[in-house]
Amino acid sequence: MNDVKSTSTSRGERQRGRPANTETGELQSKLLDIAEELFAESGYAATSIRKIADAAGVNPALVHYYFGTKRDLLVTVMNRVLEPMAENVAALQEADSLEAFDVARLMFNMLERHPAMPRLIVREVLLSSGEIHAYFAEHFAPRLGGALPGLLGIQQAKGRLNPDLDPGAATLMLLSLCVFPFVARSIAEPFLNVHYDEAGLENYLAQIKLVLNDGMTP
């Protein structure tokens, strides 16, 4: 989780307000990191702008100044992670050669950098029918998971994937393999001995490749 202690300067602890221009980008990134974690941990409704500001050691007015309303902030948090992901999926669609593991690695690499995002999406999209659900369904679902069955189907038609695969079901399995471990960390780490440090995540990704390429039977 991100360090949420207040920052200080050589002149003592800075009054909570607008930072110097050189600090703006760094502070905005920090605020987005904190918001991502708190929205995932406590939920959108239970996470106030003040709570995010307090965690960052700034005035709530500064959060509003940078991001607008709380809904605007959540949208920015999601866009920051999911827009590059959607662009990468589009790039894969243009690739001449593709393996299922390429899709898994793309998703997993994003989630490794933003491990709170799966929990946030589960809370605010999969288990909710509110406006954020509608925003995700309109802007990202067709370009992320919704794009993958067609992408796999094209490769299947070219003889590069198993002809018995159902592209929709295969997409669901890929999403489950990559997303669920970050949702289930509190159980997987102590009881399944899955490690979430860099080496552990690399090992898990290797296991995904083994399952996709060779299955679980000798």
Say how far residue 38 (Cα) sits from the centre of its chain: 14
- Nearest Cα to Cα of residue 120 among 33, 176, 40: 40
pLDDT in the model for residue 208 = 93
pLDDT tens-digit series, residues 179-217:
999 999 999 999 999 999 999 999 999 999 999 888 877
Question: CA-to-CA distance for 208 and 179, rounded, in angstroms?
Answer: 12
Average pLDDT on 103-126 reads 92
The confidence band for 13, taking pLDDT boundaries of 50, 70 and 90, is very low
pTM of the model: 0.82
What would you measure as the largest C-alpha separation in the chain, in angstroms?
67
At 196, is the secondary structure helix, strand, or coil? Answer: coil
Question: CA-to-CA distance for 165 and 168, rounded, in angstroms?
Answer: 9
Say how far residue 121 (Cα) sits from the centre of its chain: 8
Q: What is the CATH number of domain 1-68?
A: 1.10.10.60
Topology alike, domains 1-68 and 78-214: no
Q: Is 64 exposed, middle or buried (0-12, 13-18, 19+ CB in 10 A)?
A: middle
Question: CA-to-CA distance for 16 and 128, rounded, in angstroms?
Answer: 34
The confidence band for 144, taking pLDDT boundaries of 50, 70 and 90, is very high
- Nearest Cα to Cα of residue 117 among 203, 45, 190, 39: 39
Instruction: Return the CATH number of 78-214, one of 3.40.50, 1.25.40, 1.10.357, 1.10.287.
Output: 1.10.357
Phi then psi for 104, rounded to 5 degrees?
A: -60, -45
* In the chain, where the domains are located: 1-68, 78-214
Question: CA-to-CA distance for 16 and 156, rounded, in angstroms?
Answer: 56
Question: CA-to-CA distance for 175 and 185, rounded, in angstroms?
Answer: 16
What would the two tokens of residue 216 be?
């679980």
pLDDT tens-digit series, residues 76-93:
999 999 999 999 988 888
